[in-house]
Structure 1
Amino acid sequence: MHWKMGKLLDNVISDDIDISDEDISSDEVSIESSSLSSDSDNDRVSDVEESKAGTSALADGLSSHRGNTNEMGNLDNSDEENEVVKAILDAKQLCRNHPPSIILEDMITDICFHPAADYIGVASITGDIFMYKYNNEETNLVSTIELHLKACRDIEFSEDGRSLFSAGKDLCIGITDVETEMLTRIYEKAHEQPIYKMTIINQHVFATGDDDGVIKLWDLRRKENEPIFSIKEVEDYISAMITNRDAKYLVCASGDGCLTTLNIPERKMHIQSEEYDEELTCLGLFKSESKLLAASSKGKMYVYNWGEFGLHSDEFPNATKIPINCMIPVTENVVITGGENGIVRATSLFPHRQLGIVGQHDFSVETLDINKDGTLIASSSHNNDIKFWNVQYFETLNVTEPVKGGKQKRMKHNLPSSQINNRSDFFAEL
């Protein structure tokens, strides 16, 4: 059953969340728990010097040990040991190519990269918004904006990065000046039910959707804090909202299992899709915005031609049939998804192919975002953590190149961003 964050925030705190072994696909069992433990990004860059010292001591100790074994005539064992030591030392010399993880005390409800600077905004269940500055060596908290009285569910930066939009369970929409951290505008009681999702359409207009399926359009040029349009065509929560550069259509996914599309200039409903027997959870644009991808609580992905939202043109089954909670496009043809099993996975759309595991969390992945130059993605989970993955290799990845070993091999394959190697690759190097 897909976890709807809107309902979860009302009833559950993160410390009560438990995932049974049955939620983890057998396809991921090949990743050993010891490797998962070693993958933790909780170690900070401040430990680098200790690591170097430990590595040096290890090398010295092994060197001394080799001397002793040479005296005993075990030259063959020393040669083999030399290769192991060399592999350890080479690995320690590798530079970090992504920021270290961020861990909060409270549940993380949304994340959003700044469009022009190396900052990431983090929304929490307490209603606070945290701003972090990041680089490959460290992530530093630079400010805390205490804005909402209840959970802040969605945050979005304006296109120029000067304003931060936020919406939450307290029924309020806030607009904050990023530089001064001052609230420039607030819409109190913007909805009758908690706001679940928000998207910025252009410099003047933005849209919101709530737990009750109500969609509203807002125009910043109006002095009155009233929407310019409101519509309710579904009964369940609005899970995702998206538009393209033309900003003619606003496509909204819902827990009812259908897409509701609005004509923005004419301020009316355009079309509603057929209803699926599953929640539609997230949306993405591909192929120069000519294709719309919708993912579901049953792990399926539906492809629509932009402008033709009544019926999908193609359907992709998920590799593990585990609910997809979020997605982010990284190229015109590759989507990265986050699932309830904690796996961040990459999929090629055309041709359709599972590319492999980008990264992993201990708990369900709830949010994904990509930075300004497309080299980093961030993912957050119910473990109150944010992890960063360097995905620059997708720029040169040939998705049409066949992978030997069949479907199971492709499903289990870990991509370069995942810090867990395939077991076969690990043992092959020893």
Structure 2
Amino acid sequence: MTLNFREFDKDSSDDSSEDDSDHEVSEMEQGVIDSSVDTEEDDENENNKDDQNSSDDSEDEVVKAIKAEKNKPRDHPPSIKTEDFIVDICFHPANNIIAIANIVGDVLLYEYSNDETNLLKTMELHLKACRDVEFDNNGVTMFTTAKDKAVMATDVESGKLKQCFENAHDEPVYKLFPLDCNKIVSGDDSGTVKLWDLRRQDPIFTIKIGEEYISDMITNDAQKYLVCAGGDGMLTSIDLKGSKIFSRSEQYDAELTCMGLFRSETKLLVGSSVGKFYLFNWKEFGLHSDEYIGQKHSIQCMIPITQNIVVSSGEDGILRAAHMFPQRQLGVVGQHSLPVEALDISHDGQYIASCSHDNDVKFWNISYFESIDSLIDVNHKHNKKKDMINNLPSSNIKNASDFFSGLV
């Protein structure tokens, strides 16, 4: 921010003198005139000083405001920059650790705090690009998959391989979803879903649900149905206990890219490549109950923050928050200069992390959402266009109106 201040120059030049031959002035009269001139000069000097002080005060307030912003205590970990393209990230479910999967097949484990991030270990797991990294619910085992078609289970503490399903699929595996410490579901590029148990080599079942890639998979606590989103624009649910397809949705005119559960797992939100959200009632996966325009660009990833609030991102690199019941935009949580590939939320709910095509991972403190959620007046009329670009407390960019409000 550049502020221009007007400079006041003191007038030190004397007025033109009178010719003594034309005007004779007595000593007393001269003394009165000199006294008057001195008084006027003193008054002018005082006025100039007052104006200068006023300018200095304004400048001091701006400087103070800028310094206050810079000196605020850090409320999120510093960013992580890597040498290789980041494909996926996953927070540990119990500790301050984040896993970063990259395009050369490695997984990097970082420990994070508000002050720093430290690389704990680098695991060279796959021969080709990693596609997905996930922890089990206890954080003991880390599951990974890659373009090399392998599904691996690795002990987090020791880094030792616990299980490896080589050539788990005929096509590269795109997505994993852990069910418990031993069972995991995998979906590949050609629409095949498999359920695995680490205690055996062969899959429990194999189901072909489509022809396109499986972009995301999700289930609830009951784990009766597994819902799969696909590149073919269809939502397919699988009866896990019956090992069969439960239902298929209508075919949408875009790829279905990501999913999240809300309202005590009674609502399923699905993002798409055309920037739309589709809302489904749980177990009613054939047709959505509502739809929203989330953004103009493709929604690549989403993460539920509260029972009502979702943060999503994608091609434009902007992390946006929205209240879904009823739907309204809340504003910008953060931003990257390039498209965002993945989002995740920390075990304590204090941070979300995002990775972009710029080979970086950024952290955002979103603890304020817990208090904001209950205060949002969803029935109040809002300016959607303004809300879409409103910068929330976690964003690195300040709203100009908010910044200058303290200076008025």
TM norm. shorter chain > 0.5: yes
Matched, 1:424 2:395: no
Q: 1:199 aligns with which of 177, 191, 202?
A: 177
Name the CA shift for 1:418/1:402 in 2 (closer, same or farther; >3 Å).
farther
CA distance in 1, matches of 2:382, 2:268: 31
Distance in 2 separating the partners of 1:128 and 1:203? 22
Structure 1 residue 201: Cα displacement: 1.4
Q: Given that residues 70 and 78 in structure 1 are in contact (C-alpha distance below 8 angstroms), is that contact kept between their aligned partners in structure 2?
A: no
Q: Residue 198 of structure 2 is aligned with which of 220, 223, 227?
A: 220
Matched, 1:293 2:280: no
What is the CA-CA distance between 1:86 and the residue it aligns to?
Answer: 1.7
Distance in 2 (CA, whole Å) between partners of 1:298 and 1:330 is 22
Q: 1:196, 1:211 within 8 Å by CA — same for their partners in 2?
A: yes
Deviations 1:241-285 (A, max 9, x none): 001100000000000000111000111111111000100000100
Q: Which residue of the partner structure matches residue 385 of structure 1?
A: 360
Task: Please show how residues 117-132 of structure 1 align to structure 2 within 5 Å.
Answer: 117-132=95-110
Amino acid at match of 1:352: Q
Read off the aligned partner of 1:301 and give its amino acid letter. F
Q: Is the partner of 1:84 in helix, strand or coil?
A: helix
Q: CA shift at 1:401, angstroms?
A: 5.6
Are 1:166 and 2:141 counterparts?
A: no
In 2: Cα distance, 1:353 partner to 1:70 partner: 56
Cα drift, residue 355 of structure 1:
0.5
User: How big is the shift at 1:422?
Assistant: 1.4
Q: How far does the alpha carbon of each residue in 1:155-206 deviate from its partner, in whole angstroms, 9 at most, with x for none?
A: 1111111110001100101111111101111000001111000001123321
Deviation, structure 1 residue 84: 1.3
Which amino acid counterpart does residue 385 of structure 1 have in structure 2? D
Query: Does the 8 A contact of 1:351 with 1:400 survive in 2?
Result: no
Residues 170-319 of structure 1 aligned to structure 2 (within 5 Å): 170-222=148-200, 225-318=201-294
Q: Distance in 2 between matches of 1:284 and 1:134?
A: 25
Q: Does the CA-based 8 Å contact 1:253-1:260 persist in structure 2?
A: yes
Q: Distance in 2 between matches of 1:261 and 1:210?
A: 16
In structure 2, the residue matched to 1:83 is: 61
Alpha-carbon contact 1:301-1:317 (below 8 Å) kept? yes
SS at structure 1 position matched to 2:368: helix
- The whole-number CA distance in structure 2 between the counterparts of 1:402 and 1:390 is 27
Alignment partners' CA distance in 2, 1:355 and 1:306:
25
**C-alpha separation between the residues in 2 aligned to 1:122 and 1:383?**
14
Q: Provide structure 2 residue ranges, at least 5 long, that are not aligned to the other structure.
A: 3-44
Helix, strand or coil at the partner of 1:90: helix
Greater relative contact order: 1 or 2 (C-alpha under 8 angstroms, separation 6 or more)? 1
**Contact 2:110–2:120 (CA<8 Å) still a contact in 1?**
yes
Superposition deviation, residue 399 in structure 1: 2.5
**Whole-angstrom distance in 2 between the partners of 1:295 and 1:144:** 32
Partner residue, 1:364: 339
1:154 aligns with 2:132: yes
How much has 1:92 moved relative to structure 2? 2.9
Whole-angstrom distance in 2 between the partners of 1:403 and 1:308: 30
Q: Is the 8 A contact 2:328 2:384 kept in 1?
A: no
Pairwise CA RMSD: 1.8
Q: 2:320 aligns with which of 345, 348, 360?
A: 345
| Distance in 1 of aligned mates of 2:143 and 2:116 | 26
Structure 2: distance between partners of 1:306 and 1:294: 12
Q: TM-score, normalised by structure 1?
A: 0.81
Query: How far does the alpha carbon of each residue in 1:76-125 deviate from its partner, in whole angstroms, 9 at most, with x for none?
Result: 11111121122123223210000000011110010000011000000000
AA of the residue aligned to 1:157: F
**Once the 2 structures are TM-superposed, how far is the Cα of residue 382 of structure 1 from its aligned partner?**
0.5
* Whole-Å separation in 2 of the counterparts to 1:70 and 1:335: 59
Deviating above 4 A after TM superposition, structure 1's stretches of 4 or more consecutive aligned residues are 69-72, 401-405
d(CA) in 1 for partners of 2:244 and 2:90?
A: 29
> How much identity, in percent, do the aligned residues show?
53
Aligned to 2:23: none
Structure label with greater radius of gyration: 2
Match of 2:79 among 91, 101, 105: 101
Q: Work out whether residues 141 and 181 of structure 2, in 8 Å CA contact, stay in contact via their aligned partners in 1.
A: no
How many residue pairs get aligned? The number is 361
TM-score (normalised: structure 2): 0.85
Instruction: Give me the whole-angstrom Cα distance separating, in 1, the residues matched to 2:338 and 2:313.
Output: 11
* Cα distance in 1 between the residues matched to 2:124 and 2:199: 26
Measure how far apart 1:426 and its partner are: 2.7
Residues 163 and 308 of structure 1: CA distance in aligned 2, closer, same or farther (over 3 Å):
same
In 1, the alpha carbon distance for the partners of 2:273 and 2:68 equals: 42
**Whole-Å Cα distance in 2 between the matches of residues 266 and 152 of structure 1?**
31
2:309 to 310, 334, 342: 334
* SS of equivalent residue, structure 2 residue 398: coil
Residue matched to 1:13: none
Does structure 2 retain, via aligned residues, the 8 Å contact 1:357–1:415? yes
Residues in 2 aligned to 1:149 and 1:408: alpha-carbon distance in whole angstroms: 46
Q: Which residues in structure 2 correspond to 1:43-58 (within 5 Å)?
A: none
Contact persistence 2:226–2:237 (CA under 8 A): yes
Asked if the contact 1:118/1:135 (under 8 Å) is kept, the reply is yes
More helix by proportion, 1 or 2? 1
Question: Does residue 362 of structure 2 align to residue 409 of structure 1?
Answer: no
Q: Which amino acid aligns with 1:255?
A: G
